[in-house]
Structure 1
Amino acid sequence: MNLPLDYPEAKAILKEALASDMGYFDTADLYHKGANEELLGRFFRENGHRQDIMIGSKVGNEFFQQNDEVKWNPSREHILSSVKDSLRRLGTDYLDLYMLHGGMIEDNKEETIDAFNVLKKDGLIRAYGISSIRPNVIRHYLAHSDIDVIMMQFNLIDNRPEMLVDEISERDVKILARGPVMKGLLTDNAASVADRKFADGVFDYSQDELKETLGKIPAPLAVSTMNYLLSQPVASIVAGASSVGQLQSTVSAYQQVDYRTHHRELFHDLNYEDHL
């Protein structure tokens, strides 16, 4: 989502990701209205390695090039049509993972599930899932589909997915943790990020409590959140990267993990309160 649109800049980030043995590349048709997929497609056409990595994309947001309007559309017709556009932009004949980019309990979920099953049967996708933080939607897909993956924001601050991990694991569904550093809050730039992005705090934290809590964790903060996520049944940590330096910082944090020290006890126990 954060890749720069300038291709040389994006290429440098993607080359660094490959050199760091990253094996999963996450995108969506909505990101820059298809341009993010095109960047990835161009990179893998020029540099190879398609067989060495997994590519995941998302669908469900019907967007328009001529304006900023976006319509939610989880219909069978839209999914079966959109996958062809994503495959063309990515320059590949299959997706390793295709996810519904959201979802509401009011959706015709059976129609959505049928579309994903058709794509899987036809070999256009190898697995499917949803990107959602709505428990009622997640539970419906767990009970009524052969879903493979659920993507959720998951980190030390936003630990709400803990209330669902047992249900998800019992179905042998994999969790993708997005937002591992919470927009930079869980990095060594925490204080400045809190001032710039979280003046009103976040969840039930005031800004002062947020700073006080984060100040109790020894640097580097990103190592603690990586340790925390790796203590959970998480299949992949999906971190954004808008520069080579940012990517290198994330990789460095991951390489320092010891799987134990994550200071989870310092943080509030959060639960999802809506869409139950």
Structure 2
Amino acid sequence: MSAQIEIAQASKVFGTGAGAVPALDGITATVPEGQFLCLLGPSGCGKSTLLNAIAGFTPLSAGRITMGGRPVTEPGPDRGMVFQEYALFPWMNVEDNVRFGLDIRGVPRADATVTVDRIVATLGLSDFRKRYPKDLSGGMRQRVAIARILALDPPVMLMDEPFGALDALTRRTLQDELLRIWAEYRKTVIFVTHSIEEAIYLADRILVMTYRPGRIKRDLTVEIPRPRDTASGEFNALKRELAGLVMAEQQRFTSAELHGAAVD
């Protein structure tokens, strides 16, 4: 696979009333096209800061990020973002929320309808297309948020703890749904999570990040074949290894919380 995203010595410092807060320090990584990458670590390690920099929402203080050889300086249609908060328009029903980005792009109505019909069916939303977000469960709302991104067909999907607020059963259902979509559409996925089990279950590769300032502590390829059994010895051996890495950073985070707020 060819390199799609290049992160070179990416650093970010936030200015606050209490002084400079370093969030990222010298992050360097290559994300190949079609890879499912998880950013793993405790609060305060800069996972979301790095994701927002890749999205073009947060400018770096130093270093650079390129996609397809072009510098990332602002948001663009080649990157779709899925947030934990769903970010749906409450006055629009499901199909209008999914269609929204296509309308903004000026896609002809007939073509947009074909795309919306296909994506709504893919995400199991056909029976809910006329419902409004307030009438949907958290899991269904997140399906709509994912559907809206898929309708735009970006090569990269950026996901900031999209299942973090869901119950365990709904979370696993949507994890499986995401893997099915990823296998079908072959998007590049960069997925932020605090959950070690979620990272192992989903990812081709996991970047474990240190507590502030965020650096790469371990770059690990997940060799376990899919579908992955969370009860298997191989899965749990990797879970123990990652737990040791993350807990060391969690202890640093807990200590640092006594002296100021975290940046994530």
Shared fold, TM over 0.5: no
Q: Which has more strand, going by share of residues?
A: 2
